[in-house]
A and B are shown apart, each in its own frame.
Chain A
Amino acid sequence: MTIHNLYIFDRNGTLMYYGEWNRKKAGTMNKEEEGKLVYGMLFSLRSFLEKISPLDLKDNSFCYRTSKYKMNYWESPTGVKFVMNTDLSSPNVKDLLRLIYQMVYVEYVVKNPVCPMGEYIHSELFAQKLDEVVKSSLIYTSKTS
């Protein structure tokens, strides 16, 4: 199991953070454009799901998978969006995304008065704590494939 990368968007779709761990193929465009592309796709996908879903989408999360990777999406009730690419065998990514929100985003961005909300997060402390949480998660550490 492995974690490839993570995007965090605020409620207006601004890319707030991008982090990568095991991204084996570099993107062909810059971070900002890639962020917009990902957000645009997710936005459309979500409104599509809301319209088409036979069930109530209660927990604001979904994922899509290709034959190679899985993209997991989780949104906080305040509209902060966490998107993580993992490999296909990773379970419960939603819980990890929630944990990142609780333990890292709220603690080191929201409670940090010099961290403006709605802009890219440059805080090193945030990056460091995020890295710790990701690297200590089971999805990152266990080697099954």
Chain B
Amino acid sequence: MSRQSTSSRITADSKKVNSELFVLTYGTLVQQLVKDYESVEDVNKQLERIGYNIGLRVIEDFLARTNYPRCTDLRDTAEKIQAAFKMYLNATPSLSNVTADEFSLVFESTPFGEFTELPDACANLKYCNVLPGVIRGACEMVQMDVQAYVIADTLKGDNATEIRVRFIKKLHDALPAGED
């Protein structure tokens, strides 16, 4: 399978952190945001923003480690994002509904959600909303404007957690100042 060939090229010298500690830390972060903001919508927005800022930086680390060349098409991009999930979260999402400008990453269960139950007051909370943010931030750094959003969530009773990514446009390098 092509996925295996891409992920096996990754050098496995990364430092590891206990996954339960990580999941609980994430949960605490989300909980604090829920306390600090009045509406759940705002929390979703903040999580996305946090993820976006992570994405801007994590992409450099990813490229430095993997030595990947530029993607040729969106399928290629999707496979690399899949490899990145394996590398950073040890999660293996599967790809589905791949079209020319959209694809879905499907997780068997919500990442970070193994100890989580959403209370009724937070029914609209997108618990793993940092992930779409990370994808958006990382893609922006490699000149791709994408939209990413959670469309299904196991915490809300869906069968799987699904993140949909839509390609919008290619970004171009800024001209140097003084030239028009």
Interface residues of A, Cβ cutoff 8 Å to B: 11-13, 36, 39-40, 43, 58-60, 76-80, 101-102, 105-106, 110-111, 117
Beta-carbon contacts under 8 Å, B104-141 to A: 141
B61 proximity list for chain A (CB < 8 A) = 106, 110-111
Report chain B residues within 8 Å CB of A36: 176-178
Cross-interface CB contact of B60 among A12, A40, A60, A78, cutoff 8 Å: A78
Interface residues on B, range: 20 to 34
Q: Which of B69, B142, B178 contacts A58 (CB 8 A)?
A: B69
Cβ–Cβ < 8 Å partners of A77 in chain B = 63, 68-70, 142
Least CB distance, B142 to chain A, in whole angstroms = 5
Query: Given contacts A11-B174, A58-B69, A77-B68, are A110 and B179 in contact (CB under 8 A)?
Result: no
- Name the residue of chain B whose CB is nearest to the CB of A12: B174
Could you list which residues of chain B lie within 8 angstroms of chain A, going by C-beta atoms?
56-57, 59-61, 63-65, 68-70, 141-143, 173-179
Among B70, B173, B179, contact of A11 (Cβ-Cβ < 8 Å):
B173
The binding surface of chain A is classed by DSSP as loop
Complex formed: what's the CA distance from A79 to B56 in Å?
Answer: 12
Separation in Å of the B54 CB from the closest CB of chain A? 11
Q: Which residues of A contact B175 (CB under 8 A)?
A: 13, 43
Instruction: Identify the interface centre among B61, B64, B69: most chain A CB within 10 Å of its CB.
Output: B64
CB neighbours (8 Å) of A76 from chain B are 60, 63
- Shortest CB–CB separation between residue A96 and chain B, in angstroms? 14
CA distance A101 to B62 in the complex (A): 12
In the complex, A117 Cα to B141 Cα: how many Å?
Answer: 12
How many whole Å from A37's CB to the nearest CB in chain B?
A: 10
Docked-complex contact A110 and B176, CB < 8 angstroms: no
Residue B176 contacts which of A43, A80, A101, A111 (CB distance < 8 angstroms)? A43
> Is B57 within 8 A of A111, CB to CB?
yes
Q: Inside 8 A of A102's CB, which chain B residues have their CB?
A: 64-65
A-B contacts, 29 of them at CB < 8 A, read A11-B174, A12-B174, A13-B173, A13-B174, A13-B175, A36-B176, A36-B177, A39-B176, A40-B176, A43-B173, A43-B175, A43-B176, A60-B70, A76-B60, A76-B63, A77-B69, A77-B70, A78-B63, A78-B142, A79-B143, A80-B60, A102-B65, A106-B60, A110-B57, A110-B60, A110-B61, A111-B61, A117-B56, A117-B57
